[in-house]
Amino acid sequence: MNKTVRRLADGRRITYYDEVPRPEGRTAVDTRDLPPVSAASEVRRDPLTGEEVVIAAHRQSRTYKPPADLCPLCPTAPGRLTEVPERDYDVVVFDNRFPAFAGGAGHADVVCFTSDHSSSFAELSPRRVRTVLEALADRTAELSTQDGVEQVFPFENRGEEIGVTLHHPHGQIYAYPFVPPRTERMLAVARAHRDEYGGHVLGDVLAAEHADRRRTVVQGEHWTAFVPPAARWPVHVLVVPHRRVADLTELDTSERDDFAEVYLSVLRRCDALYGRPLPYVAGWHQAPVRRDRDLAWLHLELFSVRRAQDKLKYLAGSESGMAVWINDSTPEQIADRLRAVG
């Protein structure tokens, strides 16, 4: 992987991750007349739950569903200046112009997986998936050194049903200035499990899934994708490395290669499930930056709100109001469907 760092017209950082060296280099200049980024966010703690809420009112003005010929994530072309000054790219990461975190508390990146506007993550080559993984690991390492960053969360939102407003294949990286509630809960469970049983809870779950196999979707040499035994969503998959690592930076070469094969198989099954692109959220659960890294086990979680060809799952009273999920399918049924379309 070849890494080149440049600056956009308003001073934001952009990083190109190329699969082969480019003799001409990355020299394109952002010639847009952009005002300085004006963003202010704050973190408020809910006094009733103790959970943090990010207030980022400036995001109301972010780009919303532009036509393909005005996509800001495509490469720059004659007569069309975009967020990416170069005429082509492999993988590119840049500071979000409308960040959820601003003012020195946290950070937000945009990650473009390909310059092809009409593609998707499922259509990437294994090599490109590996490049995306390298970029995410590189940014995880860099963001983890920033003062105030407590956890790095790379994720992809895909599909209008999820709320996506830019259709170009892309994801984001949030560097939280706190450890999110979901992670705090998982760390507490991992600590209690270790104290009682001596092992890691996800390691023990993985061993049980290998023995049972009813919920296994894809198994590779170094990763297994399975439906969690208490799946919340109508499509819900965990992709877990067989070796415990804290975050993406600790994966070795063979693990990164195998992930590409396993994850692409999962995504292609997801798209085949209803004969149409599946809307989903896919996010990397990594260890906090500064504490409890021995309690974390890196894994990717993918879930979808689509529960049938023409039906979506909406978070209603129980889910939204009390965080108690009600699933219309059993985890075993979900796994059966995903295996069947393979």
Q: Say if residues 180 and 186 touch (Cβ distance below 8 Å).
A: no
Q: Collect all residues with Cβ–Cβ distance below 8 Å to 112 and sequence separation of at least 6.
A: 73, 84, 89, 91, 92, 93, 168, 169, 170
Q: Is 170 among the catalytic positions?
A: yes
Give, as one character, the DSSP assignment of residue 320: I
112 is in an annotated binding site: no
Q: Distance between alpha carbon 157 and the CA centroid of its chain, in Å? A: 7
Out of 107, 170, 193, 222, the active site residue is: 170
User: Among candidates 80, 82, 63, which has minimal Cα distance to 72?
Assistant: 82
Both structure tokens of 273: 């499930």
Cα 313–Cα 283–Cα 340 angle in degrees, nearest 5: 60
Cα–Cα distance measured from residue 84 to residue 72, given in angstroms and rounded to the nearest whole number: 8
Q: Say if residues 96 and 111 touch (Cβ distance below 8 Å).
A: no
168 is in an annotated binding site: yes
User: Among candidates 35, 54, 36, which has minimal Cα distance to 44?
Assistant: 54
Instruction: Write out the catalytic residue numbers.
Output: 170
Mark the binding-site residues for Zn(2+), compressed into ranges: 71, 74, 117, 168
Mark the binding-site residues, compressed into ranges: 71, 74, 117, 168
